Structure 1
Amino acid sequence: MTDNYNNNIQQIDIDKAWNNLHARLQEDNLIPIAEKERSIFAMPVFRWAVAAMLALCLTTVVIRYFVPDRHKTPLLSMRNNDADNTLVKTLEDGSTVYLAGSSSLFYPSRFAKDSREVVMQGNALFDIAKNPEKPFRIETKKIIVEVLGTAFNVKSDAKGSFELAVLRGKVKVTQKSNGEFAYVVAGEQATIVDNHWQKTKYTDNNLLESFTKHMKFKDEPLEKIVQVINRYSQRKVALQGEAIKTHKLNVQFYNNDVEGMTKVISLALHLKREVTQDSIFISQP
């Protein structure tokens, strides 16, 4: 994908683009009449300005080529530059992405009718909502990951190295270069050795904890934050009242202790917290 957009950029005729821009400025009467007899591109400052504008346009093209857009749907981007915390995002289908440091995710605000597609680079844990009619597809630099509903960890860097570990369910991984694919099930991990898939047993029992120990949320509705907390906590959190579910919150948790997390939420949003033996209730005061 990267090679494609590099080739496209190299084929752009810069002089032709300048001439087109000049014609548009003349058409809109943005060039003084006295100046029209001179070549506007002979002016160094203007030439650099046009070059900067073209560079901006090319940057946009680069992003759109890097991020698949098969359904012509604008994609949102999320990047975690914090090496010590996991950025958590729940997508519109209910799937949750735990993004580690120096990692990026591109995703649509709403998925297409027949598929769910995202692009990622870096290290992320995916907990995919099950939907047999809409497979979930993750595209990395060299690999395509396809699932129906499962939990797994993907590592893929800019150089193309790849590693996948499945915690729950079954995942299909396919190499873009040669089409070779493999199915990876819970308890297995897959890497590429000499352009071929190699599967081994996965033994890291602390993988889930490493992603959930220090979580942060950015502009997330309270309802989705609580859903993430309930997924890994024995003591469940219940929101009482529809109004508080949509409250958005920027918050960072330094451990995955449910009591500590609900205290932070209650203080930040000025809500009431009631603790029982089995549950924690959050409501309007």
Structure 2
Amino acid sequence: MKLNINIPKHAELIAKYIAEEMTSKELVNFEAIVNMHIENELLIREMKHDWKLMGSEKVKKPNVDKAWNSILCKLENEDLIAETKAIPIYKMQWAQLAAAMLTILIISSVFLLSGIWSKDIIIQSSSDPSTMVETLVDGSTIYLKPNTQISFNHKFGEKNRKLNLNGEAFFDVTSNPNLPFEIVTKDATVIVLGTSFTVKSLNQNNFEVVVESGTVSISSKTNDKSFLVATAGERVTLANNQLTKSIVLDKSYHLWKTQRLHFKDESIANIIQVINKNYKSNIILNSPELQNNRITVTFYNNSLNSIVEVICAALSLEAQHTDNAIILWQSSNAKR
């Protein structure tokens, strides 16, 4: 089932979830619905973000009870519900949230909630000394250093692959000649087809690109004549609106990205893809049904065997080690 904020029942469920008013059983059932479609996950992530923003905005408080009753009357008049019942909204935090969201749909002029219908997806790493790993819909993987933010349109991967970066991140870009991958910072724009590299954009005169593989083009946003192409083993920096290129002498420059890997609510399929890439391993799931299982986990300088043990323990899996692969399958003792 795909969640739709325009459907009152769905809006109530989302509001109750965000307000943390669900019972344990309701929570399990709702999260199962969310995990059915990536669109559901993106919607919940965006609504959580917007609800936090609403808490920090000075807005005119709507008459929630009145708005909710008006909405119910409208739905009843249009035969969208069978009957209406009095709802003690003042007693239920989640109902207030649902009414507030529906008020925005029906009477958008009641108050201004900055960003609630924003089409941008924002991913922010914490200050914790871990590398946050995100796999995008196009298969590209991003390793975010602490206090780094990326944002992109919710239709990323359809007509373009453009995102904004503030901070430092390593990009392992999936090749697609028809859709170049574009990274926009406040100082410069980086465009690639399929390669791996680090981009750092922290403040003025602190822009840097270090290429691990492939070819990258970099252009200054303030100097149209400043444009460079860099290949593996090269570094590009920006100073006084001028790009300069040099050779990377430190061969371990990119090792930071795998020292402390943090996955937040990530699918096991994407986690295994990242592990296989960085550990030169061949971990295989024996059933497609396992691929969408999601976990939050941090690996801190773990060996490959310990990583496999953690994954198996978290998802009740068993592992078989062969000469050229590690095969994971559902344990017979797993709870059904």
Q: TM-score, normalised by structure 2?
A: 0.63
**1:252 and 2:252 aligned:** no
Q: Secondary structure at the match of 2:174?
A: coil
Q: Secondary structure at the match of 2:300?
A: coil
Q: Is the 8 A contact 1:218 1:249 kept in 2?
A: yes
**Larger strand share, 1 or 2:** 1
Output one character per residue of 1:88-128: Cα deviation in whole Å (capped at 9) or x when no partner.
Answer: 00000000000001111113444253310111111100000
Map of 2:267 onto structure 1: 221
Map of 1:38 onto structure 2: none
Q: Is the 8 A contact 1:96 1:126 kept in 2?
A: yes
CA distance in 2, matches of 1:271, 1:109: 33
Map of 1:239 onto structure 2: 285
Amino acid at match of 1:77: I
Quote how far apart the aligned CAs of 1:265 are: 0.5
Amino acid at match of 1:221: S
Q: Secondary structure at the match of 1:261?
A: helix
**1:197 and 2:243 aligned:** yes
Q: Secondary structure at the match of 1:122?
A: strand
Quote how far apart the aligned CAs of 1:225 are: 0.5
Paired residues for 1:85-96 under 5 Å: 85-96=130-141
Instruction: Report how many residues are paired.
Output: 228
CA distance in 1, matches of 2:112, 2:199: 32
Q: Secondary structure at the match of 2:256?
A: helix
Map of 2:197 onto structure 1: 152
Cα pair distance change 1:130/1:88, threshold 3 Å: same
Q: Is the 8 A contact 2:205 2:239 kept in 1?
A: no
Output one character per residue of 1:68-102: Cα deviation in whole Å (capped at 9) or x when no partner.
Answer: xxxxxx22111112342100000000000000011
Map of 2:326 onto structure 1: 280
Q: Secondary structure at the match of 1:246?
A: coil
Q: Secondary structure at the match of 2:312?
A: helix
In structure 2, which of residues 220, 223, 232 is the aligned counterpart of residue 175 of structure 1? 220
Output one character per residue of 1:169-211: Cα deviation in whole Å (capped at 9) or x when no partner.
Answer: 1111111112221111111000112221110001222233210
Amino acid at match of 1:275: H
Amino acid at match of 2:171: F
Q: Secondary structure at the match of 2:275?
A: helix
CA distance in 1, matches of 2:252, 2:112: 44
Q: Is the 8 A contact 2:187 2:204 kept in 1?
A: no
What is the aligned-residue identity percentage? 32
Q: TM-score, normalised by structure 1?
A: 0.73
Map of 2:308 onto structure 1: 262
Map of 2:54 onto structure 1: none
Amino acid at match of 1:146: I
CA distance in 2, matches of 1:269, 1:207: 34
Cα pair distance change 1:230/1:112, threshold 3 Å: closer
Q: Is the 8 A contact 2:170 2:196 kept in 1?
A: yes
Q: Secondary structure at the match of 2:122?
A: strand
CA distance in 2, matches of 1:254, 1:176: 37
Map of 1:164 onto structure 2: 209
Cα pair distance change 1:219/1:109, threshold 3 Å: farther
Q: Secondary structure at the match of 1:130?
A: coil
Amino acid at match of 2:127: D
Q: Is the 8 A contact 1:106 1:120 kept in 2?
A: yes
Q: Is the 8 A contact 2:150 2:163 kept in 1?
A: yes
Instruction: Give structure 1 stretches of 5+ with no counterpart.
Output: 1-17, 30-53, 65-73
